[in-house]
Each structure stands twice: as structure tokens, then as C-alpha cells.
């Protein structure tokens, strides 16, 4: 035991305690620490842990019915040599498959996802939580924010609820739900790590939420939720696999884009027509303003709303609609949060003085979004969408296939029943409607009634597939 100091003796005298009494108290304290937490303390800790666990469970149960897995096919420029050889001369080139996630936001089948999930897609199909597998059409997309809306023809879906992402606070718990690596309805948790992340160089408009909830390839387009089960963001990208840094488009931006796409097929964004930059400490010193005083205007477009509002290069925009602006990112965010045609009050710093002016927001001039392959398909292919032919034993040997001339799939029509069943060019049919080792003619005869039950061999594995018109 450490000897008592003079200061300790003075304290004891003031408290009316003797040295032996203090020693006994210290002994009891050490004994209590050695014994560990009491049963009551353990129960209290377990109760708190259960509350948090129950909160995560409730979010998963509430949100999962609104989450979908999205499967896409795209032309595969890196197909292996066998598939290239099989596909040569055919109208259907080898295809690659990808998986993403999405969130239902209307009961009649409108689904919000990322643009990069469906970009370049030949076909888009959706797995619903109830097991249904439905083809989807592209309603519209917005590459500037990496968002897109697709739609399936069904009714009575559970639409997700959206939260106000501006009201979220850094440090709040969040839950991500999606299909990382094709593993559907995976739930991960973390916190909201930061807000307003931009300048990542990935998209034209960046205002991301950052989270440490685990996000991996396949999570893209899925929801990031609060503990109320409301969508606060659309998971979009990661910085390095396994780094614990993921980014999501805020729900306010995502919902605004989704509603416009669903209504008109495109996004119309507000614009004032200025170029702006942050105030560096050096600029702020020379201009005699605080570095966080606002966004420095460095250019004003001809015939722009800002020009008509008499904004000039060198002005510092300090507030938009009474909301303080601290940098150029704030300025972009505030303008984009309003609708085209609205008139806003701006507070401007010029030559050390504050001025007020009004600006009427115009539509941001943006190039038309080009169509992607799935929008250029035209009328879906008739039949089951399957092309087969028998290979000679020599051809089969060259392709590394069984020597018997089994039917080989040489073409899959995008969007067809065969495509939705997951069949690929290069698959070998080893059984059709219970008949083993069929010929191509037998496959064609079996398809006459508009449906097929196939057992298919793909490399070293086999599986069944059901096709129906």
C-alpha cells in the first residue's frame, strides 16, 4: 500500500476520517474491482445490448421487403476463347452477368438503383423478396448523380420510406441492406461517418454520406437506413475493398431525382450559372474576409440567372435562402435542393459590405442522356429465346466438351425466358423433359408446347432450368 502523503492527511482531517478508515475503504474498493461487475450490472448491460440488437432486427424485417436484387446482362468483350468461337457469326455475342441492388419506392413497381448497376445492360431482371423473378424496363437514368429508375409490372409492393438526410447526424447508427457478391438480403451495420463528401472525381455531382457499414460489390443501389427503417441514402461506392469506407447518395437528392425520372424520364436541376471556389486562407487574408465566409465566385455565365441578379466575379456568396454558405460545396448543395423556377434570396459579400439580391433558378444545361442497349432492344424475341445445334465429335473435343454430340446453346435472346432462366451461350443440354442425351431436334420438338424443363451442364457443374413463354 502506498504511504499517505501530507495532502492526504489534511483531506482526512477535513473529512473526519482516520488513516485506518481510509485504508479499509481502499481495500474494499480493490476487492470490489477484483470481483468484477455485479449480476445487476451484467443484466443491465445485456438488456442494453438486446435493445440495440432488436433495433437492427426490426430494421431488417421492415426494410427487406422493399429491397430487390438486380441481375443484368451485358456484352462481354472479354469472353473466353470458347465462347468467342461459339458466338462467331451469331447475332448474339457472349454476355457477362452482373448483380446489384435496388429499393422499391412505389407500390406499382418503381425501383431506385445506381446508374452504374444498369449501364450497358442488355437485359435487367429483378429478384423480389417473395421469390418472384421479373423482367424490368429502364424508366430513366441520371449519370450525373449515378442514379437510375427501373420498373417491374406488378402491384402491391412494399414501398420504402425515406428520411430527411439533412437531419441525420454524424455518429448515428445506420444499416445497409443489399446483395454483396450476389448474396441477397445481406444486412451490415455501422455509423454515419461523415456528410457532404465530394471532390472524389467519380461523378459530376457529389454530395455523399460516408459510412463504415460494410459495403461491397453488389450492394450498389441498395438502401442505407436509420434505426427507424427509413432510407437515408442509396449505397453507391467504396474506397478500396475492406477499407470500411463506403459512400451513399443522400436520400433527399436521391428521392428528388427518382421522382423526376418517374414523372418525365429525366432530371431537371436548378442552376444559377456561376463558377465558384473555396476561400483559401491566403485569399481570405487578401480579401479581408473569414475563410469560411462563403463561396468565392470566379465566373458568371452570360445570360445566366446570376448575371441577371448582378452577381460578379469576386463576390462571395454567404447565404442562400437564409442558410449560411461556407464553401463552394455548400453553394452547390443549397441550389440543387430547390426547384427550377423558384426565386431565392442571396446574401453577397462585396468589398467588405453585405448585399442582398434575388435570383430565379433556371434549368441546368446538360447534354441528353444517351440510350443504353436495353432501351434499344425493340420488341422482345418470340419463343423461348434459345438457339441450339449439335456439334460434331471433333468440334466438341476442340471446345473441351463431351465427345457425344449433345445440343449446345449457341444463342440467347436478351430478355427471353432462356435469359431469365440464367442460361448462357456455351451451356450443354444433357436432358430435356426427362429425356437424357437428347438431340437438337428433340429439344425443338419438346419446345413446341411453349415450355421446357432442361438439365444443363456448364463446365464441371449441372443444374435444372425451367423455360416458359
Write out the catalytic residue numbers: 116, 146, 220
First-to-last CA distance in the chain? 87
Where b means 16+ CB within 10 Å and e means fewer, 316-329 reads bbbbbeeeebbbbb
Q: From CA 385, how far away is CA 375, in angstroms rounded?
A: 18
Angle at 134 between CA 130 and CA 139, to 5 degrees: 120
CA atoms within 13 A on the CB side of 266: 11
Give residues with Cβ within 8 angstroms of 442, minimum separation 6: 432, 435
Residue with cell 408446347: 449
DSSP 69-131: EEEEEEE-TT--HHHHHHHTTSSS--EEEEEEEEEE-STTSEEEE-HHHHTTEEEEEEE-TTS
For the chain, the helix, strand and coil percentages under 3-state DSSP, each to the nearest 5: 30, 35, 40
Residue with cell 426547384: 339
Amino acid at each position: 500500500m502506498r504511504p499517505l502523503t501530507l495532502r492526504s492527511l489534511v483531506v482526512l482531517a477535513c473529512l473526519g476520517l482516520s488513516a485506518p478508515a481510509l485504508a479499509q475503504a481502499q481495500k474494499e474498493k480493490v476487492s470490489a474491482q477484483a470481483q468484477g461487475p455485479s449480476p445487476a450490472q451484467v443484466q443491465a448491460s445485456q438488456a442494453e445490448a438486446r435493445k440495440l440488437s432488436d433495433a437492427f432486427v426490426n430494421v431488417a424485417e421492415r426494410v427487406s421487403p422493399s429491397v430487390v436484387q438486380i441481375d443484368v446482362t451485358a456484352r462481354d468483350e472479354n469472353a473466353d476463347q470458347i465462347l468467342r468461337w461459339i458466338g462467331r457469326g451469331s447475332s448474339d455475342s457472349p454476355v457477362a452477368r452482373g448483380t446489384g441492388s435496388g429499393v422499391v419506392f412505389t407500390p406499382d413497381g418503381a425501383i431506385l438503383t445506381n446508374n452504374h448497376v444498369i449501364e450497358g445492360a442488355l437485359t435487367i431482371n429483378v429478384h423480389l423478396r417473395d421469390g418472384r423473378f421479373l423482367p424490368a424496363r429502364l424508366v430513366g437514368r441520371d449519370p450525373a448523380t449515378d442514379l437510375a429508375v427501373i420498373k417491374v409490372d406488378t402491384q402491391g409492393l412494399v414501398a420504402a420510406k425515406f428520411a430527411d438526410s439533412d437531419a441525420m447526424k454524424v455518429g448515428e447508427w445506420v444499416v445497409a441492406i443489399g446483395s454483396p457478391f450476389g448474396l441477397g438480403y445481406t444486412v451490415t451495420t455501422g455509423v454515419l461517418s461523415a456528410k457532404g463528401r465530394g471532390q472524389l472525381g467519380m461523378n459530376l455531382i457529389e454530395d455523399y454520406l460516408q459510412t463504415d457499414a460494410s459495403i461491397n460489390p453488389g450492394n450498389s443501389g441498395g438502401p442505407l437506413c436509420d434505426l427507424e427503417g427509413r432510407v437515408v441514402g442509396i449505397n453507391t461506392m467504396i474506397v478500396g475493398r475492406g477499407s470500411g469506407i463506403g459512400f451513399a447518395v443522400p436520400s433527399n437528392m436521391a428521392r428528388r431525382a427518382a421522382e423526376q425520372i418517374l414523372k418525365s424520364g429525366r432530371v431537371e436541376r436548378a442552376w444559377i450559372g456561376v463558377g465558384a471556389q473555396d476561400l483559401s486562407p491566403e485569399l481570405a487574408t487578401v480579401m479581408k474576409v473569414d475563410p469560411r465566409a462563403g463561396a468565392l465566385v470566379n465566373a458568371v455565365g452570360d445570360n445566366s440567372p446570376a448575371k441577371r441578379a448582378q452577381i460578379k466575379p469576386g463576390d462571395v456568396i454567404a447565404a442562400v435562402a437564409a442558410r449560411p454558405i461556407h464553401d463552394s460545396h455548400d453553394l452547390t448543395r443549397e441550389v440543387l435542393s430547390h426547384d427550377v423556377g423558384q426565386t431565392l434570396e442571396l446574401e453577397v459579400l462585396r468589398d467588405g459590405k453585405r448585399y442582398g439580391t434575388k435570383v430565379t433558378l433556371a434549368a441546368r444545361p446538360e447534354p441528353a442522356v444517351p440510350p443504353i442497349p436495353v432501351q434499344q432492344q425493340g420488341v422482345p424475341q418470340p419463343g423461348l429465346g434459345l438457339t441450339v445445334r449439335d456439334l460434331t465429335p471433333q468440334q466438341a473435343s476442340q471446345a473441351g466438351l463431351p465427345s457425344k454430340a449433345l445440343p449446345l446453346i449457341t444463342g440467347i435472346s436478351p430478355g427471353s425466358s432462356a435469359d431469365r432462366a440464367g442460361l448462357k451461350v456455351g451451356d450443354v443440354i444433357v436432358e430435356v423433359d426427362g429425356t437424357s442425351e437428347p438431340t437438337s431436334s428433340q429439344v425443338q420438338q419438346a419446345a413446341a408446347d411453349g415450355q421446357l424443363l432442361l438439365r444443363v451442364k456448364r463446365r464441371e457443374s449441372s443444374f435444372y432450368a425451367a423455360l416458359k413463354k
